[in-house]
Every structure is written in C-alpha cells, then in structure tokens.
Structure 1
Amino acid sequence: MKAVVLDTDDRYRVAELDEPTPGPGQVAIRVAYAGIQWGDTMVRDGHFAVPRPFVPGFEAAGHVVAVGAGVGARRVGTPVTALTASGAYAEVVLAPDPLTFDIGGMPLRTAAGLGWGAPTAYDLINTAARVRPGEHVLIHAAAGSVGTLAAQFARLAGAGRIVGVVGTADRADYAARFGYDRLLLRKEFPANLGDEKPDVVLDPVGGSTRTTGLEQLAPHGRLVAYGNLATYEPVRADTNDLLMHGKSLLTYNSNLLSRTHPERLADSARRALGLVADGKVRMDITAEYALGDLAMAVQHLAEGTTHGKSILRIA
C-alpha cells in the first residue's frame, strides 16, 4: 500500500508498505480521506517523541475492510470515521473499534473533517466548561476547526454572547460565518473587550494569553486550556486569587482521554457527529491536498495560513 512516512531526517516521503492486519479490538480501514490537525505539527517538530520512520495521521474516513478478534464481522464494508494513534496517511489504517464510528449516509469527505476536533469542541463546551444558557463565551483561535465548531456548540448550549479572537482580518471574516457575535484581532485582546467579562474562555494558545484570560474572567468563570500554540512555557496561577474570585482553570486533553476513558470520548464524538449529520452544526473543509503534498499542508497549518479544516485525499 502507499503511505506517507515521516523519516529520520524530518522529511515526508510517499512509500510502499505492507498492509497492516488488525489485532484484537481493532478494525482495518481503507482510507478515502484523512484529517490534518495540529498534532501533525507537533509530531513533525519533535514535541511528541515517536520513533522514526513513522506513518503519521490521526483521523481517517473510509470503509472497514477487516476486523480483529472481538469485533463483529458485520462491520466489514461499513463507511466510518475513526480516531487513530497513527497511520491515517496511508491506504489502510488500523483503528480501535470503540473509536471507529459509523457515519451512515454522511459523505466520507465530510466525515474526515470531524476527526479529533469535533469531540474536542463538543467537550470543551459541554463537559469541561459546562456552558450555561445566557453565558458569555470567548474563544481563541476562533477561525480554526475546533474554534468554528465550538462556537456552534456554544450557541446550541444557549450561550448568550460568543466572542472570537483571531490573528488576522481575513480570519475574522471567515470566522464570522459561524455565529460569533463579535470578532477581535489578537492584538486587540484584551484592550478592546472593554468591560466585557467572559464566563468561559477556551484557550489553546498558552503563555501571556492564558494569564490574561484568567484575569479577564467574570466571577465564577472558567478558563479551559487545551493546547499551547504560542509557547510551551509554563503558566503559573495563584490559586488563592482564583479562590477569592471563584474562578477556575481547567484543562482538556483528548489524547489522554482516549487512553484512560475512551468510552467518554466516543460518546462525545457520536454526539458531535449526530449534530453535523442533522445539519445543526456545519463542518467546513477549506483545503484538500494530495498524498504527496502533506509537507506543504502541515507547513500551512503551522504558519497559521489555513482556516477551517484541511484534509488529505488518500484514495
């Protein structure tokens, strides 16, 4: 089979590999499309210690072609989307059965865009921050795949006001399509917030953005940290100060959740998938790349020149 390999020299190459065979509790998927996500930049840049050569790719959509022990044979032939530990940038990938989801009549291209971002966005709003009706939500990286989904999930949860923060004016124009009440440029945050005090802040940025977000929270507000786009430097918070103002600093790690409580992640993924299938939430794929163009796709993501969701065409 054809697969993209991230080699020991940090370069991507298209190679011929043997097709993998599913083990117990696994399914083999013939991949039509694979989602591109921030984890790809982290693997490329060495923030995740994985042995090289390595077949990357963490999100796949296609048809089940084989199953391992303990998985019902009826799954063979089913169109699915799956969350994988690796290997999605290949013609066949192995995925854990509990994190492989039937998509019914949803197009495979759309399903590939759900990936880890859809359950992450769902959980940020509904299980981590627990947004309540009427609350004010502020979302950083508002034009990204998680941000655009989170804005829609926040509206469904009854948020009264949703503010997004983006890096550029064109990204603000794009994010405006997803139900934000207001968009701020990163250089305008927090000065242009004025007297607004969000009840919830979603922060994948880190560094000074995280510190400022905690300062801006309303009493009893919650900041959910779920990434470090800007810096891996630690952010220190005064727990006594948080206590006095009833503020909370929370974290969300979908990769860890997949290993400790996969059933929780699976439940959120199914709920998110259902909302997209019902047309209540829109999945927007803005870029599609060929197998040999993965290096360019990941670089575009790292540079922040993409918005919405990017996918890789495998079939």
Structure 2
Amino acid sequence: MKAVVLDTDDQFRISEIAEPVAGPGEVAIQVGYAGVQYGDVLVRGGHFPIPRPFVPGFEAAGEIIAVGEGVDKARIGEQVVALIGGGAYAEIVTAPAVLAINASGVDQRRAAGFGWVTPTAYDLVHTVGGVRGGDNVLIHAAAGGVGSLAGQFAAAAGAQRIVGVVGNPGQVEYARRFGYHEVLTRDQFPDVLGEETFDVILDPIGGPTRIASLARLAAHGRIVVYGNIATFEPVTVSANDLLMHGQSLLTYNSNLASQTHPQRLADSAARAMALVADGSVRIDITAEYTLADVETAITNLAGGVTHGKSIVHIG
C-alpha cells in the first residue's frame, strides 16, 4: 500500500509498505482522509523519540474493513475517526478499537477534521477548565484547530465573555467567527486588556505568554496548559502564590490520556462528535492536501499559515 514515510534523513517520501493487520483489540481502517495536527510538527522536529522510518499522521477517517481478536465483527463497515499514535498518512491503518470513534453522523472530511482537536477542545473547556455560566474566558491560538473549537465550546457552556489571542493581524477576523467577543494579536496581549482578569485561560503557547497569562487569572481562576508552541523553556510558578488567590494551574495531555484512560478520552470524543453531528459546533476545514503535499501541510501548520483545520485526502 502507499504511505508517506518520514525517513532517517528527515525527508518525507511516498513509499510502498506492507499493509498492517489488526491485532487483538484493534481495527483496520481504509483511510479516506487524515487530519493534520501539531503532533506532526513535533515529530518532524525530533521532539518525540520515535524511531525512523515512521509513517506520521495521528488522525484517520475512514471505514473499518477488519477487526482483531476481541472486537465485535459488527463494526466492519462502520465509519469512524481514529485517534492513533501514527500511521494515518497511508491507505490502511490499524487503531485501538476503543479510540475508533463512530463518525456515522458526519462525512469523512469532517471526521478527519474532528481528529484530536475536537475532543481536546471539549476536554479543555468542560473536563479540565470547568467553564461555567458567567465565566470570563481567554483562549490563546484562537485561530487554530483547537482554538476555533474551544471558543464554540466555551460559548455553549455559557461563558459571559470570551477573548481570543492570535499570532498575527491576518487571523483576527477569522477567529471572530467562532464565538469570540474580542480577538487580540499576541503583541497586544495583555496591555490592551487594562485590568481585566479571567476565570479560565487556555494556553498552548508557553514562555512569556504563560507568565503574562498567570498574571491575568481571577481569584479561583484556572489556567490550562496543553502545549509549548513558542518555547519549551520551563516556566516556574509559585504554588504559594496560587494558593493565596485560590488559583489553579492545570495541564492536559490527550496523547497520555489515550494510553492511560482511553475510555475517558473516547467518551469525551463521543460527546463532542454528537455536538458536531447536530450542528452545535462547526469544524472549519480550510485546506485540503494530497499525500504528495504532506510536508507542505506540516510546514504551513508549523509556520502559523494555517487557519482552522487542514486535512489530507488519502483515497
């Protein structure tokens, strides 16, 4: 079968490789579309210790064509999106059955766009951040795949005010489409906010942005960290200072959750999928690539060129 392989020389190539076979507790999926996500950027940059050659791609939408031992054969023919640890940029991929999420209510393009970003945004807002009615919410990377969804989930949760922060002026109007009351560029944050504070802040940026965000937490506020787009340099936080104001710094790692509590992640994904299927939440797919363009897709995401969600058409 055809697949995109990240080789030992850091180059992406379309190669012919053996078809994978579903093992115990797994399903095999004929992939129609794959989602592009930040894990692809991290793998290309060497931030994950994954042996090469490696078939990247962490989100596969398609049809189950075979099941392994212990999986109900009735699932053959089911339309799913699979949250996986690699292999999606290929014609066939295997996935844990528990993380092959039923996507019968949406088409394959939207299912690929759903990927990891939608359950991640759902959990950031509902499970970890605990956004409640009347909360003030600040969301960094508001024009990205997670940010464009998190704004919608926060609005549905009853947030009183939702402020987004984007990387450049060209992303401001785009982010406004997704439930934000105000959108700032990163160089405007936090100065234009005056003394405003927030009950929940979602931060995948890190570095000075994280420090500035901590200073904007309201009493009993929660900052949720789920990435380090700007820098991997650690930010030191005083637990005593947080305690004094009843504040919390929380983290979210969906990849780890898939390994330690896959059913919990699957449950969040199913709830998020229902909201997508009924139109309550919109996935904005802004770019579609072919297998030959995977490197371009990943480069565009890493460079902040991408708005919303990008997908790759497999076949």
What secondary structure sits across from 2:198 in the alignment? coil
- Counterpart for residue 177 of structure 1: 177
* Stretches of structure 2 lacking an aligned partner (at least 5 in a row): none
Q: Look up the equivalent residue of 1:53 and give its one-letter code.
A: P
Q: Look up the equivalent residue of 2:233 and give its one-letter code.
A: E
Shift of 1:106: 1.2
- Are 1:299 and 2:286 an aligned pair? no
- Are 1:193 and 2:172 an aligned pair? no
What secondary structure sits across from 2:123 in the alignment? helix
Q: Look up the equivalent residue of 2:124 and give its one-letter code.
A: L
- Counterpart for residue 67 of structure 1: 67
- Counterpart for residue 220 of structure 1: 220
- Counterpart for residue 249 of structure 2: 249
Shift of 1:104: 1.5
- Counterpart for residue 81 of structure 2: 81
Q: Distance in 1 between matches of 2:251 and 2:106?
A: 31
What secondary structure sits across from 2:110 in the alignment? helix
TM-score by length of 2: 0.99
* Stretches of structure 1 lacking an aligned partner (at least 5 in a row): none
1:97-139 deviation line (CA, Å, top 9, x unaligned) = 0000121241100110011101100000001010110000000
- Counterpart for residue 143 of structure 2: 143
Paired residues in the alignment total 315
- Counterpart for residue 16 of structure 1: 16
- Are 1:32 and 2:27 an aligned pair? no
Shift of 1:195: 2.0
1:83-102 deviation line (CA, Å, top 9, x unaligned) = 01110000000010000012
Shift of 1:161: 0.3
- Counterpart for residue 107 of structure 1: 107
Q: Distance in 2 between matches of 1:101 and 1:262?
A: 11
Q: Look up the equivalent residue of 2:159 and give its one-letter code.
A: A
1:1-21 deviation line (CA, Å, top 9, x unaligned) = 000000001010000011110
What secondary structure sits across from 1:15 in the alignment? strand
- Counterpart for residue 236 of structure 2: 236
Q: Look up the equivalent residue of 2:209 and give its one-letter code.
A: T
Q: Look up the equivalent residue of 1:114 and give its one-letter code.
A: F
Shift of 1:78: 1.2
Q: Distance in 2 between matches of 1:150 and 1:167?
A: 16
- Counterpart for residue 285 of structure 1: 285
Q: Distance in 2 between matches of 1:209 and 1:141?
A: 11
Shift of 1:29: 0.2
What secondary structure sits across from 1:177 in the alignment? helix
Q: Look up the equivalent residue of 1:40 and give its one-letter code.
A: D
- Counterpart for residue 168 of structure 2: 168
1:173-232 deviation line (CA, Å, top 9, x unaligned) = 100111100001100000011121011100000011111111111111000000000000
What secondary structure sits across from 1:188 in the alignment? coil
- Counterpart for residue 209 of structure 2: 209
Q: Distance in 1 between matches of 2:113 and 2:16?
A: 26
TM-score by length of 1: 0.99
- Counterpart for residue 155 of structure 2: 155
Shift of 1:262: 0.5
Instruction: Tell me which moved more, 27-36 or 191-200.
Output: 191-200
Q: Distance in 2 between matches of 1:103 and 1:31?
A: 13
1:43-62 deviation line (CA, Å, top 9, x unaligned) = 00000000000001100000
Q: Distance in 1 between matches of 2:16 and 2:256?
A: 31
- Counterpart for residue 93 of structure 1: 93
1:259-315 deviation line (CA, Å, top 9, x unaligned) = 010011001100110000000000000000010100111000110011100001100
Q: Distance in 2 between matches of 1:279 and 1:203?
A: 26
Q: Distance in 2 between matches of 1:42 and 1:8?
A: 15
- Counterpart for residue 46 of structure 2: 46
Q: Look up the equivalent residue of 2:244 and give its one-letter code.
A: M
Q: Distance in 2 between matches of 1:18 and 1:52?
A: 16
